[in-house]
Structures are given as structure tokens and as C-alpha cells.
Amino acid sequence: HGPGVALSVSGLTVDYGPVRALREVSLEVPEGGFVAVLGGNGAGKTTLLRAVSGVLSFHGGTVRDGDVTAHGRPLRGLRPDQIVADGVVQVPEGRDVFARMTVGENLRAGALGTRRDRRRTAATRARVLELFPVLAERDRQKAGLLSGGEQQMLAIGRALMAEPRLLLLDEPSLGLAPIMVERIAETIAAINRQGTAVLLIEQNAALALELASHAYVLEVGAVALSGPSAELAASEEVRRRYLGPA
């Protein structure tokens, strides 16, 4: 678990009261790597992200056992803002932008608490607007008036303002038109190529296996399968259960 590993989850067990949502889940994201977690409804994907980003208790969940380490530093017990300061930043499911704030204000909010100087924040903002030019065009618009795809871009852009070393994405394709899914996917791939490690949670298995180099399949809270994406994409079981007929 030394340097070279962006995220290490080992033996993670999580309960919501009497409901066990994760059972001894272990996975690893290499520094700069791209890993996907697949699984159907209720498999525990969102719970896994909540446990990493430190918001589990806000949803009534408890870590029963196991460790979460990012870049060699234990995250268990840290507050969400401390985890962000450690470079681990989540783009929440359902986008969740600040609807009544402008696009520009949402982006500025993403940099709050990172204690970086203005020049650096401006440089990061320029990089985000290069990835998502539409956000520059919409700078003074209320975020709530953006299309679904644009809100997803803003949510990712806002997360990038915190300069993550590891980006956690929860179903970024959900509810978007195919053309938007493609654009978001291309951008996520570009973010990863620029050096940010990515942990992508997706129900769209075809998309996830195309983007990620390695993937894990969660079933009722446990890792059922894992391996290089190409191997999983070729696996009979994955094809049957998650990819459908070719």
C-alpha cells in the first residue's frame, strides 16, 4: 500500500443499521489508473463511494471493518473535507450542482477550502474550461437551467477545481442522451490521460469496460469478479449478465 497506489480498499464491510451493504470488499486503483466498478441496482456501488469519500455516516451507514487508504494515507475516520484535501474528490450521483448559483459560482465553490493561491486557482479554472468550453459560455447562467449533460459537465468541472489526484465518479452517464454520454466519456478519458486516477461506478457496463483498464463486479455487496476490462468484456458470465447479446 505504498506509493504507486491511488486507492486501496481492503476488507471493507459496511452496514446501514441491520442491512449489510458491503461484505469484505477489496480493490485497488493504481496511481494514474482507471478502474470501474460494475453491478446492478443495490449491489453496493454508491455505498463504496460514500465510504471512500467519508460521507457514509450522513446516510446512516457505518464502516464495520476494513481499511481505506489513498496515496498511502488512511482515510477511515477523516471528515469529507479532509479527504478532499488529500486529493480524493467525488462527483456525486444525480449531478447535484448548486442549482441557484451560477456556473461560475459553482466552479469557485469547488476550489473552496483547498487553500490554493489565486493564480493557481485561475490556472485550474482555465484547464477545466478547456475541457468543458460550454461552461465558459454559460458562466453567468444559473446552474439549474443547464441541460442534464451540461450539469454533469459542471459537476465534474467543480470536482476538478479541487485538483483531485483521484476522481470518484458515480454513474456519470445516468439519464443522459447517447451523444452526451459519448462526450462525457471522452472527457473523463482525457482527465485520466492528464494523470488523474479515476474510480468509475457504472451500470452501463459496456461503457465502463471501454473506458477502464481494470474492473470489479459487485453483487449483493461483495466482489464477484474482477480483472482487466478486456478479460471481463470477453467473459461469458459478464456478457450474459451485464452486456446482453452481442
Residue 59 touching ligand ATP (CB under 6 A): yes
DSSP structural state of residue 102: B
Among 8, 13, 39, 216, binds ligand ATP (CB under 6 A): 39
* C-alpha span between 132 and 77 (Å, rounded): 34
Indicate the residue among 103 and 207 with the shorter CB distance to ligand ATP: 207
Residue 46 touching ligand ATP (CB under 6 A): yes
Which residues, 186 to 215, sit near ligand ATP by CB under 6 A? Answer: 203
The answer to whether residues 91 and 172 touch, using CB atoms and an 8 Å cutoff, is yes
Residue 42 touching ligand ATP (CB under 6 A): yes
Residue 47 touching ligand ATP (CB under 6 A): yes
54: nearest Cα among 94, 82, 21: 82
Strands (E), 123-221: 166-170, 197-202, 214-219
Indicate the residue among 161 and 184 with the shorter CB distance to ligand ATP: 184
* Among 25-33, 44-52, 128-136, 228-236, the segment contacting ligand ATP (CB under 6 A): 44-52
**What is the layout of strands, in order, in the sheet containing 222-228?**
88-91, 166-170, 197-202, 34-38, 214-219, 222-228
Residue 19 touching ligand ATP (CB under 6 A): yes
Q: Determine if residue 3 is left, alpha or beta; phi over 0 gives left, psi from -120 to 50 gives alpha, anything else beta.
A: beta
Residues that bind ligand ATP (CB under 6 A): 16, 19, 21, 39, 41-47, 59-60, 203
